[in-house]
Structure 1
């Protein structure tokens, strides 16, 4: 049976009611339009309407159409019944369009809501973990030490300068205006956070391609210094903002500004504005001038980079920027800014510490800490003689530069001490920047024959004399068989000769006869603090000791004191007028018993006069001393003395490797001689050293206290050269074709010669033959010795036969790393 054709109407069927169909379609269209309007309105209101709203609207549409369809069927039972889907062909299209919006809207809501929720939680966490206000104690390192030489000249600083907290009465108006202008020009109008300033900083940084300006207010910087650490994180920035708002609600603007100025870092170890004013200008903050205030205000952004002690030009440029900003903010007039720029800003500050003196300063800083625990900045009058220190650094460097390579010597150390124990000079190594290990005070090395001082002194104290005869012969003490360095035996020799020639077998016999404990007691009595083992080989220096303690022991023989206490500080002063510490006068102490000291001094002089220390002889001066050489030439020592001073020298290698047959009478004795033969003259003169502040020769100070050369009329005819010379090299000048070679100067070409040419441009130089009988010439410019200026500025090397004043000038340049000595040695 075929199925009925829905398009065919039965013959008896009534014709369709077209009017009813039209009415139904119109009603359905109205319902559809109303529901679409509802959906459109809901979508326009945003995320509040979700996919479920759309589903309900669509359901109501379908339900309404179904109800009308059922009513029509009841009115006309013969009409065909269609489903709601058939009656609404647009429904499937609507459902197709609406279903994908549901996950998209959910995802969009999550994208917006989750980061906001995370940020809110992070801000809440930062708020809940806020530290207390003022809870950070600024670690400013060790207290500041201003160190003076023995003659009162300031030559170094150490530690952090703190100064005194300033009050509102101490704050100059122009200083406050300078800080506000350059750091936070809207300081008096914001509430701790400056949104306008943040946007300005962000724009300038974006335009500039990097961080060129910060958006933090003075209040934010203050709470960061006093309440937060310095980590760079979002949490710290959020906490900084919260604390800034809190500080603004609890403190006045003036108090915030004062707090910031009292805690900010201004470079060169200066914390707080008062410390900075004293560090750079030698005055309190209250006395600062406008150009000085502008310079200090410019430092807080980059204190280490702009500190005027190392970058005066950069600090001056930044001060000009501060003055211009003050003009822009109306704090000062343009005329006042111009007048401030025209004023000369003079630094009254210690120079950069000479690198070589840092070995001494390390020792001094530790001793100062032991001597006083008073708070605040300290000024220390040291025992260091700057002329001798420069000389010591120079002679060690010169000798090791000349012979260190071929003789395989890596390091050297020197201690010069007065006979009362004051340390006059100290060299702890070739280069402090390479190694801060002080080989004069920290390195413990075998003393070798240097230790025989205690053996022979014990012998003299027990009745023997320099004329007592012992036999140089093969010796065996237990399992130990000492040998002489030349593997020979001299037979019967007096003790003076045995000591002068450093005969090992005689010293071993003495130690065995006297007893090693007696030798140890003598060494301890003279101040040796290192452990001394009770073994026979101790007589030949098998114990490890330091250069400082051995030098001190020899000083005890010279001063006839047991022991001599070495010291490096004369006095310590704080803020009060009364000193905090003064080195006490030496207390009465026992001397060496009987005539033992006289006999020991005689034996020490015999070493230099005709023994192993002949290389230490100094013309015109009585000198005594003792050499020391350890096994396989690992260490070489010489400690010598003049009537007023004891000088100890050590050379060797840090890895304890052998040198190329270097004994105590070789390089150490030569270093002693080089030092002593000029030290006495320098101490007697008491002259100021020539300036070496810059790489170019500077006429700031005369190189010598000698009078100016005699008038030209007193010179042989034609001997004088005068005029503006042409520079061939830094040791050779040309006056209209006449070549003049400077006495004692090994000239250098290149950029050093060009610097000298610029210095001499349009300046008259007067040259006369050297009165010392050499083939060179001494020239003067503006009354100063040109050769000394060149050498002290590091513009040349001194020749081997240069006069002492020129050698001293070169040694100064070496120690201060100026000119050609600016690189690492």
Structure 2
């Protein structure tokens, strides 16, 4: 390379070449350094491995050490020689004799033996422990649980189930052949040929689970499942599986195959509270196991794999699909022909009970369960014919919830209760609180609160009956003092002279206190006891104004006595109880009316009760075209508000308040309670006159035809709009570019709107009326009623009565937007 002077700069190309060569030399030096470092690391790792093997060899037995040349025959240590020096001094040996290689290999062989042997030893110990702790056969057999109750409404419709169904125990003689074939086909095809454990089946299950990406098939035989059900817990552990196998072998050695199969079918859980095949047959199909059809037997056999998920009362579609698989398995095993399977698939299966207990009826059911326990000592499954009117119950729940939703927050009202009673004492509807799932405390029966002016009934009855007072008798509303007690009117004013009818209607406290002093506290207590009040009643002057704590049921019962032919009226919820035999376990006897109330006293009291509604504090309870009487009640500081009203057909009691006894925002008995009474009674007249609302739906996600809720709307006039709608929300549609709002519907967006869009996809609807408030029809049914009944929207405050009833239905069933968050 030509040298350049200090004042002569290098050319760009020369400088660039020099830099490139320098960079190459630097890279070569770095690579050499890296190679030397890696070589050193490899050598160090090799020496460390050799030393580890040597140390392991030193720890072996003397015999192995001598074989490696480390100990003399007498057991003393041989002198240690450096491995490198030994290798240099050692004579050359033939290639087929390599003691050094053997010495190097033995530590790895020992490690491999330990790697395999130690787990085998642990597994053997685990198996021995599982065997040593093996429970006795039948040691975990389920104990008798609360007997099952099937509860029917007054019209015979089954609507609720409580407890665990046990049914009758099957025997080898009563075992239905089709059910046996179905269970064996779907659960354990080699049941009659294996000896309790089916290794082939286990390997098949392992393969299918491995190739299927998850647990799709179990490897347990029917014998193993029976052992688990009767002797083991349901924990998913290796120890339980080992014990299950041991017990299966023991079962096979002590029982015959038919005995094992019958025992399994008597013990297995089939969902919906049914334990055993006979209980499941009665639970789902309304008859015993011997009456099962092929289609029914296939459905039951399909449930045992996942009873909670496939119970047909909850997932009928899933249960039907599983039943089809069972039928195909029966064809494959030769139990039935393909033609028989096809015929069974086509058979329509009807469930004996509705899918789920309507949530709001649980307060009533709690009370029924207590009565059944008192009325019969039968230990088996029983069916109860109750007094409940499902239509009135659904209506009561919806009316109370709707009123509390609208006004509860503003008026600081947290809870409410309602009882509807027939004149003979039959409980037609019972709402014990706003939501049973939040609180199971029944405020209609268990809560005792101050009745306020509601208690004046007994004061006026005593005055009319024994002291010669009449509704036209006049007393003066004036400052009054009885001992140290000075009763005050709610408005702190005095009206002067008033007839007793007006004093009762306006709930004047001073006149009630004067009457109480006149008739005496003992007479008031006697009247309350005569009409059925059983709570403690303090013998103090303030009792006349309702200072005692009583229940809504007691007060509703007492007011029923004024309407009925005799007192006291005995409230009841159960008309009859029957078991699995034809002979009823209990039948309510014909009740003789109690002592008749004096006709004149009864007439005067009814006159005063009607005055409350016509011109007094209960005017909000008036129902057009119906004779109504009743009484309001408000406790001190507005902590409780009551209204008990009477119609010719029933007595309805309503209470609202707060569980913590907090004051409400000036809510009186003439406010929310009277309005709830009005809403309920007005709509109940249609039910009592024979127009039935739909029963709780069997599939809550599916709308109920509006024809079941209300008569179809009249034929549309000219100018109707037809087309496939686009959904804006569940109350607003777009048809051919025009926006249509459904009359009386408060629409919802989001998921509910998307569900409606899927439901109406490619389906034509017909709308009539003003686009801002249209009624639309789908296949002849009112679209608004379909949507509201399914819980897809709310009814507006000014909605037609059929939509308000539809909302009550949806609320009672927790459908759609009323479904609780879980």
Equivalent in the alignment of 1:198: 202
Deviation at residue 687 of structure 1 after TM alignment: 2.8
Task: Write the mapping of 1:541-552 to structure 2, written as runs, cut at 5 A.
Answer: 541-552=546-557
Equivalent in the alignment of 2:811: 814
Q: Which moved more, 1:554-563 or 1:628-637?
A: 554-563
Deviation at residue 184 of structure 1 after TM alignment: 2.2
Contact 1:51/1:99 (CA < 8 Å) preserved in 2?
Answer: no
Choose which of 780, 798, 808 in structure 1 pairs with 2:795: 798
Take 2:695 and 2:354, find their aligned partners in 1: how far apart are those partners? 17
Equivalent in the alignment of 1:433: 437
Task: Write the mapping of 1:21-420 to structure 2, written as runs, cut at 5 A.
Answer: 51-53=61-63, 123=127, 126-127=130-131, 129-139=133-143, 141-206=145-210, 210-326=214-330, 329=333, 331=335, 341=345, 344-420=348-424
Equivalent in the alignment of 2:510: 505
Structure 2, gaps ≥5 residues long? 1-56, 91-99
Contact 1:516/1:536 (CA < 8 Å) preserved in 2?
Answer: yes
Contact 1:364/1:568 (CA < 8 Å) preserved in 2?
Answer: yes
Equivalent in the alignment of 1:665: 670
Partner of 2:186, secondary structure, is helix
Partner of 2:303, secondary structure, is coil
Q: Does 1:702 align with 2:708?
A: yes
Choose which of 688, 691, 694 in structure 2 pairs with 1:689: 694
Q: Which moved more, 1:101-110 or 1:136-145?
A: 101-110
Take 1:604 and 1:64, find their aligned partners in 2: how far apart are those partners? 120
Take 1:555 and 1:174, find their aligned partners in 2: how far apart are those partners? 55
Take 1:65 and 1:154, find their aligned partners in 2: how far apart are those partners? 91
Choose which of 647, 653, 676 in structure 1 pairs with 2:658: 653
Deviation at residue 809 of structure 1 after TM alignment: 2.2
Distance change >3 Å, CA 690–CA 525, structure 1 → 2: closer
Partner of 1:471, secondary structure, is strand
Take 2:760 and 2:257, find their aligned partners in 1: how far apart are those partners? 56
Partner of 1:362, secondary structure, is helix
Partner of 1:595, secondary structure, is helix
Take 2:308 and 2:488, find their aligned partners in 1: how far apart are those partners? 59
Per-residue deviation, residues 422-480 of structure 1 (Å, max 9, x unmatched): 00111111222222221111222111111111122222222222233333223333333
Distance change >3 Å, CA 109–CA 610, structure 1 → 2: same
Deviation at residue 288 of structure 1 after TM alignment: 3.5
Deviation at residue 316 of structure 1 after TM alignment: 3.0
Distance change >3 Å, CA 452–CA 172, structure 1 → 2: same
Choose which of 450, 455, 466 in structure 2 pairs with 1:451: 455
Take 2:695 and 2:380, find their aligned partners in 1: how far apart are those partners? 34
Equivalent in the alignment of 2:615: 610
Contact 1:629/1:635 (CA < 8 Å) preserved in 2?
Answer: yes
Per-residue deviation, residues 581-637 of structure 1 (Å, max 9, x unmatched): 111222242133463222222221111111111111111111111111112211111
Equivalent in the alignment of 2:644: 639
Equivalent in the alignment of 2:570: 565
Q: Does 1:579 align with 2:584?
A: yes
Take 1:777 and 1:112, find their aligned partners in 2: how far apart are those partners? 80
Contact 1:691/1:699 (CA < 8 Å) preserved in 2?
Answer: no
Equivalent in the alignment of 2:483: 478
Contact 1:702/1:784 (CA < 8 Å) preserved in 2?
Answer: no
Distance change >3 Å, CA 119–CA 517, structure 1 → 2: farther
Partner of 1:392, secondary structure, is helix
Take 1:781 and 1:198, find their aligned partners in 2: how far apart are those partners? 54
Structure 1, gaps ≥5 residues long? 1-46, 67-82
Please provide the CA RMSD for this pair: 4.2
Take 2:695 and 2:581, find their aligned partners in 1: how far apart are those partners? 34
Deviation at residue 177 of structure 1 after TM alignment: 3.2
Deviation at residue 283 of structure 1 after TM alignment: 3.9
Contact 2:476/2:498 (CA < 8 Å) preserved in 1?
Answer: yes
Contact 1:724/1:762 (CA < 8 Å) preserved in 2?
Answer: no
Q: Which moved more, 1:447-456 or 1:174-183?
A: 174-183
Partner of 2:632, secondary structure, is strand
Take 2:816 and 2:530, find their aligned partners in 1: how far apart are those partners? 47
Contact 2:696/2:813 (CA < 8 Å) preserved in 1?
Answer: no
Deviation at residue 197 of structure 1 after TM alignment: 3.3
Partner of 1:572, secondary structure, is strand
Deviation at residue 568 of structure 1 after TM alignment: 0.8
Contact 2:706/2:782 (CA < 8 Å) preserved in 1?
Answer: no
Deviation at residue 696 of structure 1 after TM alignment: 4.5
Contact 1:629/1:663 (CA < 8 Å) preserved in 2?
Answer: yes
Equivalent in the alignment of 2:725: 726
Take 2:313 and 2:293, find their aligned partners in 1: how far apart are those partners? 18
Equivalent in the alignment of 2:532: 527
Take 1:702 and 1:747, find their aligned partners in 2: how far apart are those partners? 22
Deviation at residue 667 of structure 1 after TM alignment: 0.6
Take 1:523 and 1:65, find their aligned partners in 2: how far apart are those partners? 108
Take 1:509 and 1:84, find their aligned partners in 2: how far apart are those partners? 123
Distance change >3 Å, CA 558–CA 610, structure 1 → 2: same
Choose which of 626, 629, 648 in structure 1 pairs with 2:631: 626
Take 2:754 and 2:230, find their aligned partners in 1: how far apart are those partners? 52
Distance change >3 Å, CA 632–CA 186, structure 1 → 2: same
Distance change >3 Å, CA 317–CA 621, structure 1 → 2: same
Contact 2:478/2:495 (CA < 8 Å) preserved in 1?
Answer: yes
Q: Structure 2 length normalisation: TM-score?
A: 0.81
Across the two proteins, how many residue pairs are aligned to each other?
751
Equivalent in the alignment of 1:77: none
Per-residue deviation, residues 467-518 of structure 1 (Å, max 9, x unmatched): 3333322333333332211111223323222221112222223333433232
Contact 2:723/2:736 (CA < 8 Å) preserved in 1?
Answer: no
Deviation at residue 55 of structure 1 after TM alignment: 7.5
Deviation at residue 782 of structure 1 after TM alignment: 4.8
Take 1:304 and 1:244, find their aligned partners in 2: how far apart are those partners? 25
Partner of 2:689, secondary structure, is helix
Distance change >3 Å, CA 649–CA 696, structure 1 → 2: same
Take 2:74 and 2:419, find their aligned partners in 1: how far apart are those partners? 111
Partner of 2:643, secondary structure, is strand
Equivalent in the alignment of 1:16: none
Per-residue deviation, residues 137-168 of structure 1 (Å, max 9, x unmatched): 42463222222211122222222222222334
Deviation at residue 799 of structure 1 after TM alignment: 3.4
Take 2:239 and 2:286, find their aligned partners in 1: how far apart are those partners? 41
Contact 2:419/2:431 (CA < 8 Å) preserved in 1?
Answer: yes
Task: Write the mapping of 1:743-762 to structure 2, written as runs, cut at 5 A.
Answer: 743-748=743-748, 752=752, 755-756=755-756, 759=759
Contact 1:726/1:734 (CA < 8 Å) preserved in 2?
Answer: yes
Deviation at residue 777 of structure 1 after TM alignment: 6.0
Per-residue deviation, residues 181-206 of structure 1 (Å, max 9, x unmatched): 33223322222123333344445445
Per-residue deviation, residues 340-392 of structure 1 (Å, max 9, x unmatched): 55555443432321111111111112211211122332221111111211211
Contact 1:131/1:227 (CA < 8 Å) preserved in 2?
Answer: yes
